[in-house]
Amino acid sequence: MNGGVRIRTEADAETGRTRIVELSATAPLGVKVTGPEEVHIIGTAAAPLDGDVVTIDLEVGDGTQLTIGTVAATMAWPARGDVSPSVMIVRAKVGEGASLRWLPEQLVPVRGCRHVLRSEVQLAATASVVWREEVILGRSRNDEGPGELDAELRVVRAGVPLLHQQLHLDGSGGAAHTAASLLGTARALGSLLVAGPGAPEHFAQANEPGLRGAVLELEAGGRLASATAASAVDLRKWLEARRAGMAPPAAQPGDEEPPATPSDQQELLSR
């Protein structure tokens, strides 16, 4: 199945307010406007499965703001037979004086899947971004391990590389993700990138029991918080605490909400 989402914003010529001028989606994804500058992406089918290609294109126009969330975790599923990996491509362009907050729920590579995630972010010189990525290492049922995951994030500001990071889980259920020297007993890992004008100069480095995290200042500007944790809840709390102390101004209502639950999904769908 091939499908995806495209969202584009522009500043209103008279008021300067953000206008969502393009909003489209094809299965296995849908979209729902949940605020003046906020859109949630909704899964409309069990996807991605091995062989699927899903593309999300975001264009945040000069002087506008956009927050993207999802109503539930993304489950990367295995498929029968010898098929190619599932692929999700996220491309974002953020214009001058614009701000993008990419705050999806977690990615869960289900045991047996082969999933590729490619995220590319192009920032103008005065753009701001908050970019969160979280991975749950398999479903909790029977301590199931994760499937195969190949994830890559590239961020460029005004043509200058800001961040390039990669994550690979081999999906074997063996040493690549269970070795104590790497992840210990962690069941979740994630990162939060904050970059752009207005980001504070100081940020917290504190760790908590069962969690290992660090915050790095990037050479080309911005900060990256990364952590492993015993649970998705612990990871989210730590990343959100870093975001509260790191992010540029103009936070939107509801930023501090916990991970979405099935009841949250039904509420959004019924609006």
Average pLDDT over residues 104-125: 96
Is the peptide bond preceding residue 48 cis, with omega within 30 degrees of 0? yes
pLDDT of residue 145: 84
Asked whether residue 89 carries a pLDDT value surpassing 60, the answer given is yes
Q: pLDDT tens digit string along 41-77?
A: 999 988 899 889 999 999 999 999 999 999 999 999 9
Phi/psi of residue 167, nearest 5 degrees: -140, 130
Q: pLDDT tens digit string along 165-223?
A: 999 998 765 444 444 446 767 899 999 999 998 665 656 666 677 788 888 999 988 99
Name the residue with tokens 């290492």: 137
149: which residues sit within 8 A by CB, 6+ positions away? 76, 107, 109, 115, 116, 117, 135, 167, 168, 169, 171
| AA identity, residue 156 | V
Phi/psi of residue 201, nearest 5 degrees: -80, -20
Asked whether residue 142 carries a pLDDT value surpassing 70, the answer given is no
Which of the two residues, 59 and 258, has the higher pLDDT score? 59
Average pLDDT over residues 216-244: 90
Phi/psi of residue 43, nearest 5 degrees: -75, 130
Which of the two residues, 83 and 3, has the higher pLDDT score? 3
Average pLDDT over residues 122-146: 90
Phi/psi of residue 159, nearest 5 degrees: 85, -5
Which of the two residues, 182 and 236, has the higher pLDDT score? 236
- In angstroms, the CA 111 to CA 118 distance is 20
